[in-house]
Amino acid sequence: MIQSEKELLERIVEIKTRIPETSLLLFRGQTRLYDKIRSGRARPDTIVVPEVENGWNTIVNRLTRKNSTTKFNQAILQHYGLPTFYIDLTSDPLTAAWFACNRYQELEPTMWIGNTFRFQDETTYNPIKDEKGYVFVLEIPDHKEMVEKNELFDLTREDIFLRPQHQSAFLMLDQPPRLPNPNSFIIETLEIDRTKFTCSKTLKELFPNPKNDKGYGSLLDVPYVQLPSFYFSNKEKKEESEANDKMSIDMDKFFVVGKRAIKIPIYIEGKDDLFEFNPKWKDTVIYEPSPFRLWKTENFNISQIHEGQNGVFGDTAKITMSPIAFNKLFSDTTEPELAWPLVNSNSIFFTKAVLDHDKVIDHEPPYVGIWLHKDNNLILELHLVADEEEMHLRLGHAFVLENNKLTYVRVDKECDCGKPDDHVHILTSLLKMHALIKRQEVALVQHAFGIDNWFVLL
């Protein structure tokens, strides 16, 4: 087993003598030995939401203004917390050895107290001083061709995002059998004796402070998203009595927890490091009226209103629109493709949020959200109207979406306003979402607390 950095580097020199000069040597450090090295997204239990695939890419392009490819941006963001189809590699064997000798750990988040109680995710790496670590050595003969095909990414020259640069980072796409299997490039597995091996690299060197890493700092400016106390308590509707439901709703008026809309943890060696990351006045929280934050506890059944239609409100996908995203949807004067958002659901509940700057929220009842249900090309519109205590269902209209146009159709039960054309503008704006996501005008991300079928439009 390898016991020192000097011994490791000598071993790498020896390996290089056995391969062509045109080949690229890359390395990967792991604390454990698995049958295969796989990316987080390539594992069988991964669920892909098509619209969310573009979300992080949009956020990065806003920061860099480079309009880089989706694959390149995702490769960068893998180093900041985004699960992707990429394998982390490095051109520096000492960096790989550090990852082989240090175990990743998610820490209890710190809560900043304000109008919203904001959670800041924190992580660290702890040195391991027992057993063995592993450094995989990969030989990439056709590395230039793989870079051209966006199968391999060299992130060592990034200027805005410093972390990949400091880690001498490369990433390889991991989607076999369509692409070369990363495991097929492994030519040797080196064992590190962690009881004797001392790393010269440090956490602060490999994970630069966001004050220096401008890309990282900008990601930490992304708004927070509130979480109702009901979900914070990890309680399910079916397990709650009416009394407990009422208590949760009452708590939600006064106790709101927020988490950053995209999961970007701060890497720290100790809690003292947090003094450098105090929340800023410009930190904002995407905030909704409390009844809408409890949408999964409601049980409106669309079949009771429209015969032959199946859909329960609590099972609906929910999209919370930030003020910026809302304005983009409703002020866009182009005529993009109208399409149902690809969120793996034929029912969507749209709500408009406000931004809270640690001051009084300007929400005033009644609050209105829109519930759309799709059956082939038929779209049924329902309105959820709420005060601080409960929600009520109001009828909307029905429309057919064909040839990029919404056409009103009369149904037995519908809104009695007599002005269905006024509703067309609202639905048209909402159904622009898919096109604006593709154009990277808006970004759809999973809810920060991982609540099923809850998305945030940024």
In the DSSP assignment, the letter for residue 439 is T
Q: Dump pLDDT digits (tens) for 274-284.
A: 666 666 656 78
Q: Dump pLDDT digits (tens) for 316-346.
A: 999 999 999 999 999 988 888 999 999 989 9
Query: Measured between alpha carbons, how far is 60 from 458 in angstroms, rounded to an integer?
Result: 13
Query: Measured between alpha carbons, how far is 344 from 351 in angstroms, rounded to an integer?
Result: 18
Average pLDDT, the chain: 85
Could you tell me the residue ranges of all domains in the chain? Answer: 5-219, 288-457
Query: Measured between alpha carbons, how far is 101 from 386 in angstroms, rounded to an integer?
Result: 54
Percentage of the chain beyond pLDDT 90 is 46
Query: Measured between alpha carbons, how far is 254 from 232 in angstroms, rounded to an integer?
Result: 14
Point out the least confidently predicted range of 15-19, 34-38, 61-65: 61-65
Determine contact, residues 228/290, Cβ cutoff 8 Å: yes
| Listed residue (145, 155, 144, 136) closest to 74, CA to CA | 155
Query: Measured between alpha carbons, how far is 130 from 135 in angstroms, rounded to an integer?
Result: 16
Q: CA dist 248 to 132, 293, 297, Å?
A: 49, 11, 11
Token pair of 183, please? 């495991």
State the pTM of this model: 0.81
Query: Measured between alpha carbons, how far is 221 from 211 in angstroms, rounded to an integer?
Result: 12
Q: Dump pLDDT digits (tens) for 127-167.
A: 999 999 999 999 999 899 998 888 898 988 878 889 999 99
* Geometric angle at alpha carbon 421, from 420 and 423, rounded to 5°: 70
Determine contact, residues 228/294, Cβ cutoff 8 Å: yes
More confident residue, 132 or 266: 132
Prior bond of 366 cis (ω within 30°): yes
| Listed residue (283, 297, 291) closest to 451, CA to CA | 297
Determine contact, residues 30/133, Cβ cutoff 8 Å: yes
Instruction: With both helix axes pointing from N to C terminus, report the angle between 420-430 and 323-331 in degrees, rounded to the nearest 10.
Output: 120
